[in-house]
Amino acid sequence: MNLEGLPLLTVLIVLPLVGAVVLWALPAGLRERVRTVAVVVTVLELVVGLAALTAFDTAAAATHQLTETHPWIPAIGASYAVGVDGVGLLLVLLSVLLTPLVVLASDRTTAGSADRLRHYLALVLVLEAFMVAVFAARDVFLFYVLFEAMLIPVYFLIGVFGGVQRRYAAVKFLVFSLAGGLIMLVAVIALYLQGPGGPEGFLTTRLTGLEMPVLTERLLFLAFFLAFAIKAPMWPVHTWLPDAAQNATAGTSTLLVGVLDKVGTFGMLTLCLPLFPDASRWAAPVIIVLAVVSVLYGALLAIGQQDLMRLIAYTSVSHFGFIVLGIFAFTSVSVQGSALYMVNHGLSTAALFLTAGFLVSRHGSQRIADYGGLQKVTPVLAGTFLVAGLSALSLPGLSTFVSEFLVLVGTYARSGPAAVVAVIGVVLAALYVLIAYQRVFTGPVRPELAATPDLSGRERWVVAPLIALMVVFGFYPAPMVDLVREPSQGTLQQVGVDDVAPTQGLLVGTGTDDEGSTT
Q: Are 273 and 280 in contact (CB under 8 A)?
A: yes
Block means of pLDDT (10 residues each) for the chain, 519 residues, are 72 94 83 85 94 89 88 87 92 94 82 78 94 93 92 91 87 91 91 82 86 91 93 87 89 90 91 91 92 92 90 91 91 90 92 91 85 87 91 88 90 87 89 89 83 88 93 91 88 80 48 39
CB-CB neighbours of 245 under 10 Å: 29
Helices and strands of the chain, counted as H and E runs: 23, 2
Name which of 40, 57, 45, 52 is nearest 97 in CA terms: 45
Alpha carbon distance 209, 414 (integer Å): 24
CA separation (Å) from 227 to 176, 264, 267?
9, 7, 9
Q: Are 235 and 321 in contact (CB under 8 A)?
A: yes
Peptide bond into 233 cis (omega under 30): yes
Name which of 281, 233, 283 is nearest 260 in CA terms: 233
pLDDT for residue 509: 37
Q: Are 31 and 115 in contact (CB under 8 A)?
A: yes
For residues 61, 139, 219 and 339, what is the CA-based torsion angle, rounded to 10 degrees? -30
The torsion angles phi and psi of 79, rounded to 5 degrees, stand at -130, 155
71 bridge partner residues: 79
DSSP reduced 3-state for 443? coil
pLDDT for residue 32: 73
CB-CB neighbours of 514 under 10 Å: 5
Name which of 314, 403, 426, 308 is nearest 356 in CA terms: 308
